[in-house]
Structure formats: C-alpha cells, structure tokens
Homo-oligomer: A and B are copies of this chain.
Amino acid sequence: MNSSLGPVVGVDLGGTSVKAALVSPELELLARDAAPTDISGQDRLLMEIEQLVRRVAAGHGVAAVGFGLPSQIDQRRGVVADSINVPFMDVAFAAEMGRRLGLDVKIDNDANVAALAEARIGAGKGRDNVIMLTLGTGVGGGIVLGGRLYHGSTGYGGELGHMVIDENGPPCQGHCPNHGCLESLASAAGVRLAATQVAADRPDGTLAKAMDGGGRVEVRVVIDGALAGDRDCIDALAIVGRHLGVGIASYVNIFNPDVVVVGGGIMAAGELVLRVAREEAGRRALRPPWREVEVVAAELGNDAGVLGAAALVL
C-alpha cells in the first residue's frame, strides 16, 4: 500500500496499446497518456513503458506505480511467467521497473486489476465479494474477496475463463490445453462459433449470407446486427449468453458472491447477452446463493485497466 497522499500512476498494457494514467488517492483519473505497444522485443517494450510512466508522473510527486499486464504472474517473486500478445516471459518485471523508475511497483494480471477497479469504484462498489468476467478475445476473470484481490498460492488464481462448462466442448485457445472452457464458448471465438451454428440452422438467414457458405464473420458484425434488431445475430448472442449463464451459475454456487460483474468488448451487446445469461443462471444456480447475488454489467469500460492498476498501489 502507498502511504503517501499524492497521486499514483496506473498502467494498462495490452497487445495494441499501453495506457498510463495519473490517478488520485480517491481513484479519480487526473490525466492520461498512451502509446502503441512496441512488441519488437522485451527491452524495447520495457523502455517504452518506462518513458510513458515518466511522462505521466512528471512533476506530480508520484511514489508508486501499478501495472496491469496481459500475463500470468508469479506473485511470490514479482515475475511475469508468460504473456499473451506482448514479449514478456520469465521477466522480473516488478524489480526491473522499480529499479528503472525509482518508484514502488506492483504488478497484476489485467483481468485482476479490472476486477479490482470495478469492486472499488465500479459495478461492485461497496460489496465485499465480487466476481468479474471480461468477455473479449479470451474470457478473463478476477476474484475480489473481502475487498481484496484473490491471487491463489502463487499468483495464478482467478483464471475464471478456464472453468470447463462442457467437458466434451471445443478446444480452448492460447496457452490452454483444455476443451469446453467458458473461454471457448463465451469469448469472441464463442460468438463466431455461435454464429456458425445459427448459419447452419438457417441457410437463408443473414448470418449464413454474411458468412457466404463457410467464411468467418466478425464479432463486431454480429453485435452490430443484433443491436440493429437482426434475429440471427440476436440468436447467436443468446447462445453465448446461455453459455455465460452456465458459468455464472457455477461461480454463484462456488463463491456465494454479492455481485457478478461482466465486462469486456462483447458486452457492447449489453443486455442482449446479459439478460439471457441471467435467465440461464437463474434456472441453474442453487436457490440460497442465487437470491443474494446481482449479475450486472461493468461500469468503468476501458478505464478499468488503468484505475485498477493504480488501485494496486493505493
């Protein structure tokens, strides 16, 4: 924890851009900056991040920086074990960045920091136990218990997208050897799979036409179509919503949380996914914990990353 009363910096590293923000002790966003992510190498990316933090922090008496990284992190040693879309693997990131900046540094997984932000000042504000799922390229997860991030024994906990919901389901993606994970059915890949199913069922429908007999449809096309009222697109998102609801029911039974927060790019579809998920979870969850939980959309959008990263050191 940062004992000073001054602002801190929160950094949200993604495969496309690295964002940094100056954040007040009350988690207000005071200023922001960003740069395209230099993925040409580890040293170049470390230098880019260092320079970005220096620009944002300059003249503000910043004592600490928090980082949300697209990585699996060994919290015992502050080491990035492996990453998705950025060239960090087996890097003692916290020590290295602390040395470069001369500041206190804390690091965490990007989905974890988003969950922390939503729990502190977003859709989970004021609640003790918050489960967050972020539906995007993958399905990220974060667990906040008693107001604090849960990391597990070594920092790898909270991989909520990698709970199996269909043991005979499709292969998962990235570093995951599993199949039938929530991630394989409720991520962007899940939306494309659902669109393929609807297209197969309705060869004269809009999705079948958009896919032109075997092509791949963009997730954005499905979401925009659904928001414009297209039945095929709405039904494809409903398939995703039902898978999500299966996962939410399990998390309600496991954690008896106060709130399940759902964010990420696919939540551009909002209630078209979330209402179906809520209904499916309501049919499946045990009654006592279901009566106590709310299932809501994330509130902080893209700012959850920098705010949650800042919250790591506040």
* Chain A interface (Cβ < 8 Å from any Cβ of B): 72, 74, 81-82, 127-129, 141, 143, 145, 150-160, 162-168, 175-179, 243, 246-247, 249-250, 253-258, 283-289, 292-293
Contact = CB atoms under 8 A, between A and B. Distances in A.
Contacts of A285: 177-178
A292 B176 contact: no
A286 B162 contact: yes
B156 A286 contact: yes
Contact of A145 (B150, B253, B283): B150
A292 B162 contact: no
B72 A159 contact: no
Contacts of A167: 165-166, 243, 246
Given A243-B167, A250-B162, A177 B284 contact: yes
A284 B178 contact: yes
Contacts of A254: 141, 143, 157-160, 162-163, 254
A284 B157 CA distance: 15
A141 to B, nearest CB: 8
A284 B164 contact: yes
9 contacts: A156-B292, A157-B255, A159-B254, A159-B256, A163-B250, A176-B286, A177-B287, A178-B249, A178-B284
A294 to B, nearest CB: 11
A155 B286 contact: no
Nearest to A288: B156
Contacts of A177: 283-287
B159 A253 contact: yes
Given A249-B178, A255-B152, A292-B153, A286 B159 contact: yes
Which of A82, A150, A288 has the largest number of chain B CB atoms within 10 A?
A288
A22 to B, nearest CB: 32
A156 B74 CA distance: 30
A17 B207 CA distance: 60
Given A72-B288, A256-B152, A163 B166 contact: no
B256 A286 contact: no
A153 B258 contact: yes
